[in-house]
Amino acid sequence: MLDAAAAVAHFACIFWGAPGLRLLGAGERLARLAEAGHWYPPVISAAIGALLSLLAAYALSGAGLLGPLPGLRPTLVLAGAVFLARAAAAPWLRPFFQGNSARFWIVSSAICLALGLLHLAAALGR
Domain hosting 50: range is 2-125
Domain count of the chain? 1
Task: For residue range 105-122, list pLDDT tens digits in order.
Answer: 998 999 999 999 999 998
- The answer on pLDDT for 126 being more than 70 is no
Residue range 94-113: mean pLDDT, rounded: 88
Question: Over the chain, what is the mean pLDDT?
Answer: 92
Q: What is the per-residue pLDDT across 39-50, written as a single tens digit (0 to 9) for each?
A: 999 999 999 999
In a 10 Å sphere around its CB, with 0-12 CB exposed, 13-18 middle and 19+ buried, how is residue 21 labelled? buried
Beta strands in 23-105 (DSSP E): none
Chain centroid to Cα 22, Å, comes to 16
Of the pLDDT bands very low, low, confident and very high (cuts 50, 70, 90), residue 14 is very high
> Would you say residue 28 has pLDDT above 90?
no
Tell me how far apart the alpha carbons of residues 50 and 8 are, in angstroms, rounded to a whole number: 9
